[in-house]
Every structure is written in C-alpha cells, then in structure tokens.
Structure 1
C-alpha cells in the first residue's frame, strides 16, 4: 500500500486509489502518517481536529473517527489493522507500506549529496524524481503554504514546502552547471512568479537569460525584483543580485562558465 500526501491525501493499493471524504477522519490519518510508527496522544489528535475549542464529547468523537479510519484501511485478506491502540493514544504501523512524503526528503538528500560531489547530471535526476512526486499542495490545502490543520500538520506542511523550494533551487543550479540555460528559463520564470520574495530564483533566472543571449531580459528581471522588494518591504535586492546586475552591465559574466557553487 502507498500513502500519498504530496497533494490531496489518497491511498493506493495496486491500481486502486481511494480517498477519505470525512474531513476529521482525514485529519486523523494525516497526523498518524506524519508520525508513522510513533505514538500520537489523544490530546495531540484532538488539538489537530478541533484546536483549543474542544466539544464536550471530544474523546468519544475521536474514538468514532479512529473506528471509521480502521474500516477504511482494512483491505480484503488483512489480518491486522495498521492503526493500533497504544497508550496514551494511537500509532500507525507503516510496515512495508510507502509514504510519498517520507520518500521525497530522502531523494532530496541524495540529490544534495550528489550536487556536493559535483555530479550534476545524477543530482538533477534525483531532484526531478523528487519533484515528480508532488500532485499539489501538501494534503491538498492552502496553495503553496501550509495545510489548514493543527501544529503537527501545519509544521509538517511548512517543512515539506521549504524542502521543495530548496529542491527546485538546486535543480535549477544543476541545469545552469550543465549548460541547460534555455531549458531553465521557463521553470525559473514560473518559480519567481510563485515565490516573489525568494531572491535566489531571480539570480538564477538572470544568469539563465544572460547565458541564453538575452542580456536585456536579464536586466529587466533585476528591475522587476527591485521594484517588488521596494514596494512590498522597502528593501533593495541583496548583495548577490546587485553584484550580478553590475557584472552583467560590465560584461564580466562569462556566457558559458558554470554558476559558482553555493553551499547547501
């Protein structure tokens, strides 16, 4: 069985795919998956479902949701259920099942190590595999931001979103190192539009454009990010962007040299 959290929550068993329609049951499963093989207390689960405003029969309600979840997860021929009662709450035993949100950071770690070793082609492949796991926002909530849940779900979604951004940045760096400047342009235009405050993407886009013989467009990107930062935060672009703009104006950026490695 495969649990998929990088998008709307769903469970795949072979070619069969199922999702939970009841929001509170979905929250319970999400929390148990995030903490797979660890006990989650009743209090933690109730906080994720109701926040501070607990109904009078919250514990009884939670027991009902656990019962519904167990029925949902019980497959034909299954002798045990992955959701077990363990004081002071419940635990989801992963066993041989796979959770895409656990596979994703491992792939990113592998790619990061390959990038460190300057094995750019293999690193790019790792990052592409990692990003291909995503079908939408974590657990299907909240645009690029965290899911609408309690501290466990929101914290997990925020953590995954940050890793995804780092993965996208490292993939773009691999493409620049490999001389795939034109291929990187489209992706980086999309990333700057989605993340208007993340200066690293603008820097990479300026380099990709410049090395694609689009010097004027590269300088327009600088003016665009400068206006955005001024309008939104009253700030000037950081030193890396300023240095790159000056280097482009002075013709000091080699058209074919790879981007200097940055520490990750």
Structure 2
C-alpha cells in the first residue's frame, strides 16, 4: 500500500486510489503520516484539528476518528492495524507500506550525490523522477491548520524548489540550454524573488546566442528585487552579468 501526500492525501493499493471522507479524519491520518514511526499525542491531534478551541468532548472524538481510520486502512491478510496505541497517543507504523514523500527525499538525495560527483545525466533522471511524484500542493486543502502539517508542507515545498533548481543546473551542464529557455522564463515569473532561476535563465540565453536577452533578464531581476526588497541582485548575478558583457569563455557548456 502507498500513501500519497505530495498532493491531496490519497491511499493507493491493488484496487486503485481512495480518499478519506471527512476533513477531521483526513487531518488525523495526515498528522500520523507526517510523524510516522513516532508518537502523536492527543494534544497534538486536537491542535491540528481544532486549533486553540477544541470542543468539550474532543478526546472522545479522537477515539472515534482513530477507530474509523483503522477500519479504512484494514486490508485482507493483515492481522494488526498500522495505527497502534502508545501513550500518550498513537503511532502509525509504515512497515512495508510506502510514503511518497520518503521516496521523493531519497531520489533528491541520490540526485544530489550524482551531481556532486559530476554524473549529471544520472542526477537529472533522479531529480525528474522526484518531481514526477508530485500531483498538487502538499496534502491538498489541509494546509492552513496546525503547525505539524504546515511545517511539513513548507519543508517539502522548499525541497521541491531546490530539486527544481538542481534539475535545471544538471540540464545546463548537459548542454540542454535551448530547451530550457521557456521553462526557465516560466520559473522566473512564478518565483520572482528566486535569483537562482534568473541566473540559470541568463546562462541558458547566453549559450543560445541571445546575449541581449540574457542582459535584459538581469535588468528585470534588478528591477523586481529593488522594488520589492530594496536590494540589488546578489553577487553571483552581478558577476554573471559582467561575464556575459565580456563574453567570458568560462560561460560555455562544461559538460
């Protein structure tokens, strides 16, 4: 069985995918998955579901939600539940089940190792496979509740952004600059304060014999950063602009 959190929460088995009906029950499962293998206390579950104003019979409601989850997760051939009671709360044991977030992190880490060792083709495959696991915002519309889910989602979104940056760098190392131009324009527009995408776009344009466009991207980045943050572009972008003006040979494809 596989749990998917890189998008709306879904459970996938040999019969296909299924969703949890009921936001509160879905929230309980999400928190247990985020802390898989560790104890989630009653207080933590109540905070994720109701914030600072739990109802009078919140503990009784938690018992009901856990019972319903156990029934939903029960599969033929399994004698025990994945959710076990352990004071002062509950633990979800993945066992042989998969969590797509764990697979995502493993692929990113493997890609990072390949990249460090100069194996850019292998790195790009890992990074792309990691990104292919996503099918929407982390945990869908469960965001905006308690700190456990919000912290987990924020962390994964940051790793996803880093993975995208590393994928673009790997492709640039492989000489795929012309193919990347459109995608990098889109990324720079979606993340206007992320200077890495401006740098990658400038480099892709320069290597595609579009020096003027590369310099125009620098000016656009400078304008955005100045207007929104009151800052000049970082040292890396400034150095890249100078290197483009000088047609520095070191800007050519290295791999």
Q: TM-score range by the shorter chain?
A: over 0.9
Look up the SS of the partner of 2:139 in the other structure.
helix
Cα distance in 1 between the residues matched to 2:116 and 2:169: 12
The farther-off stretch of 80-89 and 244-253 is 244-253
1:11 is the counterpart of 2:22: no
Residue 160 of structure 2 aligns to a residue whose secondary structure is helix
Tell me the number of residue pairs that the alignment of Structure 1 and Structure 2 aligns: 255
How far does the alpha carbon of each residue in 1:206-245 deviate from its partner, in whole angstroms, 9 at most, with x for none?
0011101111221121111111111111111111111111
How many angstroms does 1:253 deviate by?
Answer: 4.9
Deviation at residue 15 of structure 1 after TM alignment: 4.2
TM-score, normalised to structure 1, is 0.92
Shift of 1:252: 2.0
CA deviation profile, 1:189-219 (whole Å, cap 9, x unmatched)? 2221221111011101100111011112211
Aligned to 2:215: 219
Equivalent of 2:162 in 163, 166, 179: 166
Measure the CA separation in 2 of the matches of 1:130 and 1:32.
23
Normalised TM-score (structure 2): 0.95
Q: 2:49 matched to 1:49? A: yes
Write out aligned runs for 1:1-264 (5 A). 1-141=1-141, 147-254=143-250, 256-258=252-254
Are the aligned partners of 1:179 and 1:256 in contact in 2 as well (CA < 8 Å)? no
Instruction: Spell out, residue by residue over 1:53-87, the C-alpha distance to the aligned partner (whole angstroms, 9 max, x if none).
Output: 11111111111111121121122443221111111
Question: Root-mean-square deviation (CA), in Å?
Answer: 1.5
Would the aligned equivalents of 1:83 and 1:92 in 2 still touch at CA under 8 Å? yes
Cα shift at 1:258: 2.7
CA distance in 2, matches of 1:73, 1:157: 23
User: What is the match of residue 262 of structure 1?
Assistant: none
Structure 1 residues 205, 15: CA separation in 2 closer, same or farther (over 3 Å shift)? farther
Q: Any unmatched runs of 5+ in structure 2?
A: none
Runs of 5+ in structure 1 lacking a partner? 260-264
CA 1:219–1:15 in 2, change beyond 3 Å: closer, same or farther? Answer: farther
Contact 2:174 2:253 in 1 (8 A): no
**For residues 24 and 217 of structure 1, what CA distance do their matches in structure 2 show?**
51
